[in-house]
Amino acid sequence: MLNKKLEVGLNKQINEELYSSYIYLSMCAYFESKNLSGFAKWMRMQSQEEYLHANKLYDYVIQKGGRVALTQIGTPKAEWKSVLEVFEDTLAHEKFISKCIDELVNLAHEEKDHATTNFLQWYVSEQVEEEANATKIVDDLKMVGENNYGIFMLDRELGQRKAEAADAE
């Protein structure tokens, strides 16, 4: 059976991952409205990855004999001042998610739940990648500044993103 405190924590994380998916889908819609199809594609893939992150937790809770409890998902922000601001928000959000995962790992340690500690290691590694990806894009956008050609080139580059569905298996 799944430890009750961890069941609550894992369910909370399912909500956070679904909210992440919702935030990135909202960012995708913002980019679509600005005709920035490459950034939009990147965000749509990010949103789909977050949905997979939620489902991976969902499956684990069930596998451990716990009960999945879905709760309300908040309304995401819908407007930004610039492409840079969108990715600064992305980075800040990923840092927040890393903190959530760290707290869950701490709880799993306190409760001596080795299986959950082990399961969460995938998320620990994933967060390193998530923060690094967002940091790189923020750095690139700062370098480009207000230069339209630079934004155009970055839009094309990010539009090359490939799905990583197998990554979340």
- Residues 53, 101: Cα–Cα separation, whole Å: 12
Nearer to ligand FEO, 94 or 113 (CB): 94
Nearer to ligand FEO, 80 or 144 (CB): 80
Nearer to ligand FEO, 9 or 151 (CB): 9
What's the chain's Rg over C-alpha atoms? 17
Locate 59 and state its tokens: 């499956």
Quote the least distance from Cβ 134 to ligand FEO, whole Å: 9
Nearer to ligand FEO, 113 or 126 (CB): 126
Quote the least distance from Cβ 150 to ligand FEO, whole Å: 26
Residue type, 99: K
Quote the least distance from Cβ 1 to ligand FEO, whole Å: 26
Locate 56 and state its tokens: 């991976």
For residue 147, the surrounding DSSP H or E stretch is: none
SS (H, E, C) 23-72: HHHHHHHHHHHCCCHHHHHHHHHHHHHHHHHHHHHHHHHHHCCCCCCCCC
Nearer to ligand FEO, 94 or 155 (CB): 94
For ligand FEO, the binding residues (CB under 6 A) are 17, 20, 50, 53, 94, 97, 130
Q: Which residue is nearest to ligand FEO (CB)?
A: 53
Q: Which of 154, 147, 158, 1 is nearest to 64 (CA)?
A: 1
Quote the least distance from Cβ 50 to ligand FEO, whole Å: 5
Quote the least distance from Cβ 153 to ligand FEO, whole Å: 25
